[in-house]
Amino acid sequence: MRMTMVALVDRHLLGERVKAVLAYVPSAVFPAIIFPGIFINDYGTFIEMNDPKIFGAIVAILVGYFSRNVIATIISGLFSYWIIIFLL
Amino acid sequence: MLSKKQIFTKGILAVAPHMFSVIPFGIVCGAIGIELGFSPILVYAMSIIIFGGASQIVFLQLLSGGASALIAVTSVGVINSRHLLYGAVLSEYLEKLSFIKKLLISYLVVDQGFAESNKFFQKNKNETHLHYHLLGSGGTLWICWQISTLAGIILGSFVPEELGLKFAVPLTFIAIVVQDIKKLDHVIVMITCGLSSLLFFDAPFKSYIIISPIIALFVAALVLRLKK
């Protein structure tokens, strides 16, 4: 899939408009994984507003924004989630 | 004029700093695949066939949630559509290569390799063997990816389910898009996508994963028009 995209695309094939829209692809795709991953539980129903996953996600957003580090973001979110479910 | 070997080595060195993020991410991806309940062989096959962290997680996540194979493959295509951009940029430097060579190179092109090689290309436009830089950067990333996902697959077999490692999936993608939340236009697109994914979550075959990006890209096109 990715191969055909790189191999077949000619530099003149894409107009400026299409390129500008493609720049939004990460923002347009990944929230479809993020939102259900946080707000919907294993049984397909909405979680409560005090769910530890919401807290973990907020921590991850803050750490990710300021650290710009992918691994720090994942680890901080997981740890804050674990602290709530195991210690509190 | 640099030799093929010199350019190849430069490619390897250029991506070396990325190992600090690629290796742990590979471990996470391998472990998540196991956590989602797939066999180690299948999870590892994804590393060879797809060779892309985000896409591998999405693919396995969707299959484990009961999505049809068609939906899973299509969503990987949507996620990877940014490679259209990479292809458009790289074609300028790879024009003279045969189709087979282009295919081989394109298998190795991932985000980090593209970023580093493209920097090198812009500075060294007149070199003849530029594609060896991509082979060096992509090849290095490929080897590290294979080793680290294997390590993750082995580690993942020991992680107890109570830890809820599945939560690492949304966290991974938060890490990928979080830098864009300072741009209002991107935030609008993200919220559109996120809310539609919740709205259409119960649509058949997990099609929310395709529907919401299409809605969000449509909104992105509208936002672009308004900005002008």
Q: State the helix-helix crossing angle for A31-39 and B184-199, rounded to 10 degrees.
A: 50
Q: Does residue B143 share a domain with residue B217?
A: no
Do residues B109 and B76 share a domain? yes
pLDDT confidence bin for A34, thresholds 50/70/90: very high
Per-residue pLDDT tens over the stretch A2-21: 666 666 666 566 677 887 88
Whole-Å CA distances, A19 to A25, B59, B82, B83, B181 = 10, 25, 9, 11, 20
**Are B110 and B151 part of one and the same domain?**
yes
Average pLDDT over residues A59-75: 93
Q: Please enumerate in sequence order all residues whose Cβ is within 8 A of that of B193, keeping only pairs 6 or more positions apart, or say none.
A: A27, A28, A29, A30, A31, A32, A35, B212, B213, B215, B216
Residues B152 and B199 occupy one common structural domain:
no
Taking the C-alpha atoms of residue B226 and residue B166, their distance in angstroms, rounded to an integer, is 39
Buried b (16+ CB within 10 A) or exposed e, A14-39: beeeeeebbbbbbbbbbbbbbbbbbb
Nearest to A30 among B87, B176, B179 (CB): B176
B142 and B226 together in one domain: no
Distance from CA of B98 to the nearest CA of A (A): 10
Report how many Cβ contacts below 8 Å link chain A to chain B: 222
Structure tokens at B215: 């809605």
Please check whether residue B178 lies inside any domain of the structure.
Answer: no
Among A2-16, B162-176, B208-222, whose mean pLDDT is lowest? A2-16
pLDDT at A29 over 80: yes
Q: Number of folded domains in chain B?
A: 2
Q: Quick one: B116 and B24 in the same domain? A: yes
Do B145 and B219 fall into the same domain?
A: no
Q: Which residues pair with A46 in a beta bridge?
A: A40
Q: What was the pLDDT predicted at B203?
A: 87
Report residue B131 as tokens. 């594609």
Which among B166, B193, B212 is the end of a domain? B166
Q: How many CA atoms does the CB half-sphere of A62 hold within 13 Å?
A: 9
Express the helix, strand and coil content of chain B in percent, nearest 5 each.
80, 0, 20
How buried is residue B6: exposed, middle or buried, by Cβ count under 10 Å (0-12/13-18/19+)? middle
Given a cut of 90, whether residue B136 has pLDDT beyond it is yes
Average predicted confidence (pLDDT) for chain B: 90
Q: For residue B181, what pLDDT is reported?
A: 95
Do B102 and B20 fall into the same domain? yes
| B209 and B105 belong to one structural domain | no
- Look at A35 and B197 and tell me if their CB atoms are within 8 Å: yes
Measured in angstroms, the CA of B3 and the nearest CA of chain A are apart by 24
* Cα separation, A70 vs A67, whole angstroms: 8
CA distance B38 to chain A (A): 17
> Would residue B10 count as lying in a domain?
yes
Select the residue of B80, B91, B213 nearest A1 (Cβ to Cβ).
B80
What's the pTM? Answer: 0.81
Q: Given pLDDT bands bounded at 50, 70 and 90, which one contains residue B183?
A: very high
Query: What's phi and psi for B221, nearest 5 deg?
Result: -65, -40
Identify the pLDDT of residue A51.
Answer: 92
pLDDT score recorded for residue B45: 96
Contact B90, B109 (CB under 8 A): yes
Give the domain range for residue B44.
4-166
Q: What integer is the mean pLDDT of B1-27?
A: 89
Chain centre distance of CA B9: 24
Pick the residue with more confidence: B151 or B157? B151
Per-residue pLDDT reduced to its tens digit, B52-111: 888 999 999 899 988 888 999 998 888 888 788 788 878 888 888 998 999 999 999 988
Query: Does B220 map to a domain?
Result: yes
Q: What is the mean pLDDT of residues A57-68?
A: 96
Give the pLDDT confidence score for residue B24 in this predicted structure: 86
| Residues with Cβ within 8 Å of residue B49, at least 6 apart in sequence | none
Average pLDDT over residues B44-49: 95
Q: What is the pLDDT of residue A9?
A: 66
Overall average pLDDT of the B158-162 stretch: 80
ipTM over cut 0.85: yes
Name the residue among B174, B22, B69 with its Cα closest to residue A53: B174
In the prediction, which pLDDT does B18 show?
83
- Biggest alpha carbon–alpha carbon distance for chain B: 59
Is B150 found in the same domain as B77?
A: yes
Under the banding of pLDDT at 50, 70 and 90, the label for residue B44 is very high
| Interface contact flag, B198 A4, Cβ < 8 Å | no
Domain boundary among B166, B195, B218: B166
Q: Is the pLDDT of residue B219 over 90?
A: yes
Distance, in Å, from the CA atom of A44 to the CA atom of B95, rounded to the nearest integer, reads: 49
- Interface contact A32-B212, CB threshold 8 A: yes
Measure the CA–CA gap between B133 and B197, rounded to whole angstroms.
Answer: 40
Q: Are residues B63 and B103 in the same domain?
A: yes
Q: How remote is the C-alpha of B10 from its chain's centroid?
A: 23
Chain B, nearest residue to A62 by Cα: B178
Q: Which pair of tokens denotes residue A88? A: 């509190």
pLDDT for residue B205 is more than 80: no
In a domain, B177, yes or no: no
B38 and B147 share a domain?
A: yes
pLDDT above 90 (res B122): no
